[in-house]
């Protein structure tokens, strides 16, 4: 840690060295597509809907036949027939006539609008009274209105949600190519760390990093394996990291990343592979490191939970997520933020909508207190060469 690297350089090193993560794919059935990252653009090979379709139950009409009608003076139209759901119409709509049609039914030739059933009355003599005028195109979804052939429906890199799956189904796509799911191993270290379900005694602390990092990696679409807490013992950590590397594509080790006598992470990673950097000019998160072990990234993250989470977002997430940046919104600082550490500083913030616009309220706290993030919507970065930010400054709040 004698020579720290900037946050930007650390991110570049990670992405450049392990960019192959973004170029591996696998074909999955539609039933398994949700939560995966789309590898290629989905381009419509056909239009949706494939025909003019009614959006209501009612009567297909020629719109001009209804102009001027009202409840006191309904338009009288001859009932020419009925459209069956799922069937091609066998009747056309001529001037002065109408055709009964269900929601989703194919609009018959000649009709250019549909009157809702509520505004119509059948008199029993083959005529229908229409009490409300409709405009051309009303209550109709026309052919290819929803999807046009050749249109890019879902761009590559999209994290597929249920509505994306529905779109694929509407096009008859039964499988799609997605990014290969990264297998991430997570290891917590420290004599003072105990499992979440344990009751800490003396100076012990519950393992916050394991569930936090697991949730963060899974939110990026990764498949996560967790390992038992490792004490501050070189041989035990070496064996656990080796075990994780055999089963996983990436390993995250939290704790033991500083330069103390019992901080073994850097020693282990230096023996197993090539240390790319140890020390990043950020606050919190300075002890962060990354090594290349046989082509696999292994990160040594700080033991402080907030620092570990921020460094995950900045360095690990770009390898796992569909994009390499965190979505941000512009906001105005509600209070000044001092910062003269010579390091980029992460500041958690809560967003408030006020009369004068979107306001970023800094959430004060120390780097080890994960609870502070529960009151935050995201964070902004004070640059390494900035001596803080004044009240009223515009910041880019990067959303959690």
Classify domain 26-47+148-179 by CATH number: 3.90.105.10
- In CATH terms, 328-399 corresponds, of 3.40.50.720, 3.50.50.60, 2.40.340.10, 2.30.30.60, to 2.40.340.10
CA distances from 23 to 11, 18, 19, 181, 373 (A): 18, 10, 8, 11, 33
Going from N- to C-terminal start, the domains of the chain cover 7-24+181-320, 26-47+148-179, 53-141, 328-399
pTM of the full structure: 0.74
CA distances from 349 to 24, 112, 329, 396 (A): 36, 54, 12, 10
How far apart are alpha carbons 117 and 122 in whole angstroms?
A: 10
Tens of pLDDT, residue by residue over 66-125, are 999 999 999 999 999 999 998 999 999 999 999 999 999 999 999 999 999 999 999 999
For residue 2, pLDDT beyond 60: no
Tens of pLDDT, residue by residue over 121-170, are 999 999 999 999 999 999 999 999 878 888 898 999 888 999 999 989 98
- Domain 53-141, second-level architecture: Beta Complex (2.170)
Fold held by 7-24+181-320: Molybdenum Cofactor Biosythetic Enzyme; Chain A (3.40.980)
- Give every CB contact of residue 116 below 8 A, 6+ residues apart in sequence: 56, 57, 58, 132, 139
How far apart are alpha carbons 16 and 14 in whole angstroms?
A: 6
In terms of Cα–Cα distance, which of 268, 273, 183 is closest to 223?
183
């Amino acid at each position: 840690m004698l020579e720290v690297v900037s946050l930007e350089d650390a991110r570049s090193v990670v992405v450049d060295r392990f960019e192959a993560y973004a170029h591996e794919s696998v074909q999955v059935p539609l039933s398994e597509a949700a939560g995966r990252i789309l590898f290629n653009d989905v381009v419509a090979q056909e239009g949706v809907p494939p025909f003019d379709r009614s959006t209501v139950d009612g009567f297909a009409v020629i719109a001009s036949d209804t102009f001027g009608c009202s409840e006191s003076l309904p338009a009288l139209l001859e009932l020419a027939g009925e459209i069956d759901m799922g069937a091609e119409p066998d009747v056309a709509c001529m001037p002065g006539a109408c055709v009964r049609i269900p929601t989703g039914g194919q609009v018959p030739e000649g009709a250019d609008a549909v009157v809702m059933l509520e505004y119509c009355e059948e008199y029993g003599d083959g005529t229908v009274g229409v009490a409300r005028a409709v405009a051309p195109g009303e209550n109709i979804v026309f052919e290819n209105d929803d999807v046009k052939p050749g249109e890019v429906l879902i761009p590559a890199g999209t994290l597929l949600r249920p509505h994306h799956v529905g779109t694929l189904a509407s096009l008859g796509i039964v499988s799609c190519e997605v990014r290969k799911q990264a297998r991430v191993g997570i290891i917590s270290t420290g004599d003072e760390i105990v499992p979440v379900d344990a009751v800490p005694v003396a100076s012990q602390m519950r393992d916050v990093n394991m569930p936090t990092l697991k949730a963060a990696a899974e939110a990026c679409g990764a498949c996560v394996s967790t390992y038992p807490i490792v004490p501050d013992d070189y041989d035990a950590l070496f064996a656990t990291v080796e075990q994780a590397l055999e089963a996983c594509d990436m390993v995250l080790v939290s704790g033991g990343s500083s330069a103390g006598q019992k901080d073994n992470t850097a020693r282990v990673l230096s023996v197993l592979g090539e240390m790319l950097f140890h020390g990043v000019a950020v606050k919190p998160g300075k002890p962060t490191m990354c090594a290349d072990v046989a082509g696999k990234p292994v990160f040594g993250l700080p033991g402080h939970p907030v620092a570990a989470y921020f460094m995950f977002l900045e360095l690990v997430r770009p390898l796992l997520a569909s994009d390499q940046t965190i979505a941000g919104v512009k906001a105005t600082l509600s209070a000044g933020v001092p910062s003269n550490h010579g390091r980029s500083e992460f500041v958690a913030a809560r967003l408030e909508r006020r009369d004068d616009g979107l306001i970023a309220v800094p959430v004060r706290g120390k780097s080890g207190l994960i609870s502070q993030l529960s009151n935050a919507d995201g964070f902004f970065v004070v640059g390494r060469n900035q001596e803080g930010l004044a009240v009223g400054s515009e910041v880019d709040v990067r959303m959690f």
